[in-house]
């Protein structure tokens, strides 16, 4: 890389700076794809904009490129972060099973925690069930409320 005004051209007409920003863009995109949360999308946008500017603006110094990267990444972060915070606070359900919490189910096999037995039906699906207090026996035909999903078992409590 250089800090002066003359570009170092490689075979094919690309400068080191173009390759530098292209590599950083790809790395930031790969980091974003590899995670389940927003981690580097802001930097990927900054690297992409800097790459485009570097391609089209002749003799732009590395300090100017770095400034563009920081400004664009920071601006994109400032604009999108409040929206992301609102989306996260909206109570996104993490799994399909978590959507069953709060629903009613019917006991089809007596729930006896000492024996480790008990089954309920929820939306036509047969589930193993345990009482939420770990000791209550819940008879067949009782309507229960799902309070938690623990693996393949529903943690339930009798409706009052």
Residue 87 is predicted with a pLDDT of: 73
68 and 43 Cβ atoms separated by less than 8 Å: no
Tell me: do 21 and 85 sit in the same domain: yes
Whether pTM > 0.95 for this model: the answer is no
SS3 94: coil
Q: Is residue 10 part of a domain?
A: no
- Confidence label for 144 from pLDDT (cuts 50, 70 and 90): very high
Mean pLDDT of 99-110: 87
Tell me: do 28 and 83 sit in the same domain: yes
Q: Is residue 84 part of a domain?
A: yes
CATH assignment of the domain containing 129 = 2.40.50.140
14 and 8 Cβ atoms separated by less than 8 Å: no
* The residue count for the chain: 160
Burial code of 61-82, b = ≥16 C-beta within 10 A, e = fewer? eeeebeebbeebbeebbeeeee
Residue 11 is predicted with a pLDDT of: 55
- Confidence label for 38 from pLDDT (cuts 50, 70 and 90): confident
Q: Which of 59, 89, 119 is the last residue of a domain?
A: 89
Instruction: State the average pLDDT for the chain.
Output: 85
Tell me: do 83 and 148 sit in the same domain: no
Tell me: do 27 and 71 sit in the same domain: yes
Tell me: do 122 and 66 sit in the same domain: no
Residue 154 lies in domain:
97-158
Residue 117 is predicted with a pLDDT of: 86
The total domain count for the chain is: 2
Tell me: do 142 and 77 sit in the same domain: no
């Amino acid at each position: 890389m250089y800090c002066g005004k003359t570009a170092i051209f490689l075979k094919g007409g690309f400068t080191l700076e173009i390759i530098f920003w292209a590599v950083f863009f790809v790395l930031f995109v790969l980091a974003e794809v590899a995670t389940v949360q927003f981690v580097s999308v802001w930097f990927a946008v900054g690297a992409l904009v800097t790459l485009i500017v570097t391609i089209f603006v002749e003799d732009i110094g590395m300090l100017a490129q770095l400034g563009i990267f920081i400004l664009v990444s920071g601006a994109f972060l400032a604009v999108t972060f409040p929206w992301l915070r609102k989306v996260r606070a909206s109570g996104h359900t993490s799994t399909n099973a978590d959507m069953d919490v709060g629903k009613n189910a019917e006991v089809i096999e007596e729930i006896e925690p000492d024996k480790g037995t008990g089954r309920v039906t929820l939306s036509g699906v047969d589930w193993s069930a345990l009482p939420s207090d770990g000791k209550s026996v819940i008879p067949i035909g009782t309507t229960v409320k799902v309070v938690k999903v623990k693996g393949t078992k529903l943690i339930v409590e009798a409706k009052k």
